[in-house]
């Protein structure tokens, strides 16, 4: 499949929960534990950053032991076959496929391990640390992602949002003094080094796994997690103050569901409360800790985008916690090229407007007639719009036409691009922040130390696309 089609279908893929996965998720729980006392821990007051780091270090030393006590299986799951990429079909109620072909003995082992861990966090969950009453943004970055994060953060501030952000870095080698001590604080953001809390080695921890650790170790009670390459078009404060975040959407069973029950997840943006959904976060930590070896294959079976993305809704479902998944499929953004589309971003739609429709029983994904919600987030995910590399040759070249001349990156689909740019030219604003980052910070990022001409390259593009008369601005 070509990349443009993959972009178009990422959100519309089947939510591949194999029969085996559902068996893992369906151990006897409430009926078999009639006398247990369910404990809801109250966080201890956090007075300083050092208090938080110390408390999180103590939390992790205990919690990691518990996670290791319930290893899903001593052998990793081998994906001998990959599940296909298939567009979500609301009319297809057939059973979900299972291509893993695990032995019954392995299934039983994993069921028992999952049931044991689930029981543990039901009766004596560890205490997540946070400052009560706070809310903020959380992201992960480091290395070549740090310039991308700065650009996204500056786009966030264009909305008028004042929410603080915590940027989690894997270890000390990713801590860049000028960026972390000067640039990010000027944007109401701060760096947090995960290796100060837990043993983080990129040889052992995959990038996908860092997201859940950033969420459980954040100081905020209410969190909007944003991928480093994603930014909102409106103040995200609105999301914390409106349905569906302040309401409920209950999915309380774990029975086998047909294919048309639910789409796959795009987890570049996650809104969650550590106070009300701490058990979801604890179980999601278990899934991600054992993700590459066990739960990523179980949840996606090798389908496109395999990683952390399905672990959050799976954990909420098992814990019978309320959740809402935006029903409007993502829309690929790109420009025309010979034979198709050069897609380099995803438009993601307003959760408040989407929920206003679905609570009335109106589901556009199922063919119901209703206006499309507004675009709320843009996830500029491939290739990364890092000023130092965006003009290099990629499978998708967002700044170039087939003949090698410059172009706007996002010109189609016209109706969606026109909708989110009808008041402010969002793509032009995005490139303005790329230009600022390239020129103001050209000699500041560690990953740019050996590179020349970063500012000049973006200036040249800016002049041709946005200042000359040859292309519309």
For residue 7, tell me if it sits in a domain.
no
Q: What is the mean predicted confidence (pLDDT) over 246-262?
A: 44
For residue 34, tell me if it sits in a domain.
yes
| Kind of pairing between the strands at 340-349 and 131-140 | unpaired
For residue 384, tell me if it sits in a domain.
no
pLDDT at 18 over 80: no
Name the band, by pLDDT with cuts 50, 70 and 90, for residue 98: low
**pLDDT at residue 250, as a whole number:** 35
pLDDT at 4 over 50: no
Average the pLDDT over each of 1-15, 206-220, 316-330 and give the range with the smallest value: 1-15
pLDDT at 198 over 60: yes
Residue 59's closest CA among 213, 263, 277, 224? Answer: 213
Name the band, by pLDDT with cuts 50, 70 and 90, for residue 77: confident
Q: By three-state DSSP, how is residue 188 classified? A: coil
Q: Residues 335-362: pLDDT tens digits? A: 999 989 999 999 999 999 999 999 999 9
What's the total number of domains in the chain? Answer: 1
The larger pLDDT score, comparing residue 103 to residue 153, is at 153
For residue 366, tell me if it sits in a domain.
no
Name the band, by pLDDT with cuts 50, 70 and 90, for residue 22: very low
**pLDDT at residue 253, as a whole number:** 32
Name the band, by pLDDT with cuts 50, 70 and 90, for residue 49: confident
For residue 135, tell me if it sits in a domain.
yes
Read off the pTM: 0.84
End-to-end CA distance of the chain: 33
Average the pLDDT over each of 248-252, 427-431, 463-467 and give the range with the smallest value: 248-252
Q: Residues 370-393: pLDDT tens digits? A: 999 999 999 999 999 999 999 999
Token pair, residue 176, equals: 């860049």
Q: Maximum Cα–Cα distance for the chain, whole Å?
A: 75
Could you tell me the residue range of the domain that residue 17 belongs to?
13-318
Percent of the chain with pLDDT over 70: 78
For residue 192, tell me if it sits in a domain.
yes
For residue 184, tell me if it sits in a domain.
yes
For residue 456, tell me if it sits in a domain.
no
How far apart CA 398 and CA 333 sit, in angstroms, is 10
Alpha-helical runs (H) found in 138-182:
145-158, 177-178
The larger pLDDT score, comparing residue 262 to residue 326, is at 326
List C-alpha distances in Å: 6 to 13, 84, 325, 404: 9, 12, 20, 23
> To the nearest whole number, what is the mean pLDDT of the chain?
84
């Amino acid at each position: 499949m070509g990349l443009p089609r993959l972009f178009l279908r990422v959100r519309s893929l089947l939510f591949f929960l194999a029969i085996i996965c559902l068996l893992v998720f369906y151990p006897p729980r409430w009926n078999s534990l009639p006398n247990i006392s369910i404990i809801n821990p109250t966080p201890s007051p956090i007075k300083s950053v050092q208090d938080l780091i110390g408390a999180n270090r103590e939390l992790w030393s205990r919690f990691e032991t518990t996670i290791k006590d319930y290893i899903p299986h001593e052998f990793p799951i081998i994906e001998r076959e990959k599940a296909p990429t298939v567009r979500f079909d609301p009319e297809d109620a057939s059973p979900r496929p299972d291509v893993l072909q695990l032995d019954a003995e392995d299934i039983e082992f994993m069921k028992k391990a999952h049931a044991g861990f689930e029981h543990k966090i039901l009766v004596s969950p560890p205490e997540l640390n946070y400052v009560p009453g706070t809310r903020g943004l959380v992201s992960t970055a480091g290395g070549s992602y740090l310039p991308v994060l700065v650009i996204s953060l500056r786009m966030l501030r264009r909305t008028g949002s004042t929410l603080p952000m915590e940027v989690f870095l894997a270890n000390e080698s990713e801590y860049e003094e000028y960026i972390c001590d000067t640039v990010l604080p000027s944007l109401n953001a701060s760096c947090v080094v995960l290796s100060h809390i837990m043993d983080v080695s990129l040889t052992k921890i995959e990038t996908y796994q860092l997201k859940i650790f950033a969420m459980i170790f954040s100081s905020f009670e209410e969190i909007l997690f944003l991928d480093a390459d994603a930014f909102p078009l409106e103040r995200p404060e609105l999301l914390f103050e409106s349905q569906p975040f302040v309401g409920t959407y209950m999915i309380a069973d774990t029975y086998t569901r047909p294919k048309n029950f639910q789409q796959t997840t795009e987890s570049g943006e996650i809104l969650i409360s550590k106070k009300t959904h701490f058990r979801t976060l604890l179980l999601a930590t278990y899934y991600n800790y054992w993700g590459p070896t066990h739960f990523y294959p179980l949840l996606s079976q090798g389908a496109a985008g395999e990683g952390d993305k399905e672990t959050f809704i799976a954990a909420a479902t098992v814990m019978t916690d309320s959740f809402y998944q935006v029903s409007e499929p993502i829309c690929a953004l790109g420009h025309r090229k010979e034979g198709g589309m050069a897609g380099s971003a995803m438009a993601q739609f307003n959760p408040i407007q989407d929920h206003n429709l679905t609570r009335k029983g109106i589901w556009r994904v199922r063919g119901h007639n209703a206006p499309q919600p507004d675009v709320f987030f843009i996830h500029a995910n491939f290739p990364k719009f890092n000023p130092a590399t965006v003009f290099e040759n990629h499978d998708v070249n967002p700044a170039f036409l087939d003949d090698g001349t410059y172009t706007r990156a996002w010109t189609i689909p016209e109706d969606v691009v026109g909708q989110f740019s009808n008041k402010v030219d969002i793509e032009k604003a995005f490139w303005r922040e790329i230009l600022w980052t390239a020129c103001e910070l050209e000699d500041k990022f560690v990953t740019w130390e050996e590179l020349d001409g970063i500012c000049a390259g973006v200036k040249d593009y800016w002049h041709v696309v946005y200042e000359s008369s040859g292309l519309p601005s």
